[in-house]
A and B are shown apart, each in its own frame.
Chain A
Amino acid sequence: DAKTTQPTSMDCAEGRAANLPCNHSTISGNEYVYWYRQIHSQGPQYIIHGLKNNETNEMASLIITEDRKSSTLILPHATLRDTAVYYCIVRSPGTYKYIFGTGTRLKVLA
């Protein structure tokens, strides 16, 4: 699976959009981009995934560049409860292993 690179930490004001970038320049054609988050002292939680097209669900939006070498997770209206470590993961379908990197520690500020 391709390696991902994320900023170590980010701050965001409450109520504003949080944009979390991820670089996956070695991604191959059949690999999906997944985002999970881990709130302090809890297990990781699935947020969203995508292959080529932009995706949106009740939690977030995922924007994948046309060359698929990078993506951005958008939390449209961040709240204090969104403070967490966000992991960007690239995985092939049919494989079971998630490689969790160090993630981005997002702090939402009141």
Chain B
Amino acid sequence: DAGVIQSPRHEVTEMGQEVTLRCKPISGHNSLFWYRQTMMRGLELLIYFNNNVPIDDSGMPEDRFSAKMPNASFSTLKIQPSEPRDSAVYFCASSLALVLAGVEQFFGPGTRLTVL
């Protein structure tokens, strides 16, 4: 099992550019999460998908952020235009149905984004 796969692992871009982060969840998992981690704010949930449908995007900072899940094996998080304050590590996680107690989330290795 390859686990959750994220790409790229590192991204450096200039302010104003579009950034797209990619995630492949674990096969068979039907829930997918995007998190952002910074020193100041810690680990924050940005958006949650269940069966490819966005359920809660209340954590998305603003309209510059958007996320899609076109199928069960792929999701993207896009920032357009990017700003220096978007610099962070972005994690994708997946899990089985959350109605079950004790269901754990499996995290990917993260994408370290630097916006200059």
Residues of A participating in the B interface, judged by any CB pair closer than 8 Å: 32, 34, 41-46, 49, 51, 93-98, 100-102
A47 to chain B, nearest CB (A): 9
Q: Is the interface of B mostly helix, strand, loop or mixed?
A: strand
Q: Which A residues are in CB contact (< 8 Å) with B33? A: 96
Q: State how many residues of chain B have any CB contact under 8 Å with chain A.
A: 25
Residue of A nearest to B112 (CB): A41
Q: Cβ of B61 < 8 Å from any Cβ of A?
A: no
A-contacting residues, B23-47, CB 8 Å: 31, 33, 42-45
User: Which of the residues A32, A41, A46, A96 comes within 8 Å of B56, measured between beta carbons?
Assistant: A96
Given A46-B104, A93-B101, residue A98 in contact with residue B45 (CB < 8 A): yes
B66-110 Cβ-contact flags toward A at 8 Å (1 or 0): 000000000000000000000000010100001111101111111
Contact A44 B107 (CB under 8 A): yes
Residues of B participating in the A interface, judged by any CB pair closer than 8 Å: 4, 31, 33, 42-45, 48, 50, 55-56, 91, 93, 98-102, 104-110
Q: Cα distance A96–B48 when bound, in Å?
A: 8
Given A44-B43, A46-B104, A46-B105, residue A96 in contact with residue B110 (CB < 8 A): no
Q: Cα distance A7–B101 when bound, in Å?
A: 27
Residue of B nearest to A55 (CB): B102
Q: Which A residues are in CB contact (< 8 Å) with B48? A: 96-97
